[in-house]
Amino acid sequence: MNRANVIATLVIVSTVIQQGLSDPPIAFSVVLSSNTHLGNDDAIKYDKVLTNLGNGYDKWCGHFAVPRKGLYVFSCSVMCPNPNHITVGIIKKR
């Protein structure tokens, strides 16, 4: 376990303890370590998984499956050099 993973895990665990939650936390943090080219509707398959509490993220298909009901927050940073165009979306499968 590297330092970034330990820090991310400690922050999540301390938040859960402060909130008094009894269920284990669900969280994932991933990184794409190299440039990638995607087609329409392709999932971004992040190759470095820093944190995967609850095992909801599958790096082989790039999908996160919610292991239980709850409120989930997602954020990402995407970069594309000019003059290229990029569109990224988060899709909820029903």
| Three-state SS annotation for 36-58 | CCCCCCCCCCCCEEEEEECCCEE
Cα-Cα-Cα-Cα torsion 34, 39, 42, 47, nearest 10 degrees, comes to -10
d(CA 45, CA 80): 17
Report the pLDDT value the prediction gives residue 27, as an integer from 0 to 100.
85
pLDDT of residue 77: 79
| Res. 5: pLDDT tops 80 | no
Instruction: Quickly state the pLDDT bin for 21 (edges 50, 70, 90).
Output: low
- My answer on whether omega of the bond before 83 falls inside 30° of 0, hence cis, is yes
Q: How many domains does the chain have?
A: 1
HSE-up of residue 3 (Cα within 13 Å, Cβ side) = 0
Greatest mean pLDDT among 2-6, 62-66, 81-85 lies in 62-66
Which domain, by its residues, includes 35?
Answer: 1-94
The mean of the pLDDT values for the chain is: 75
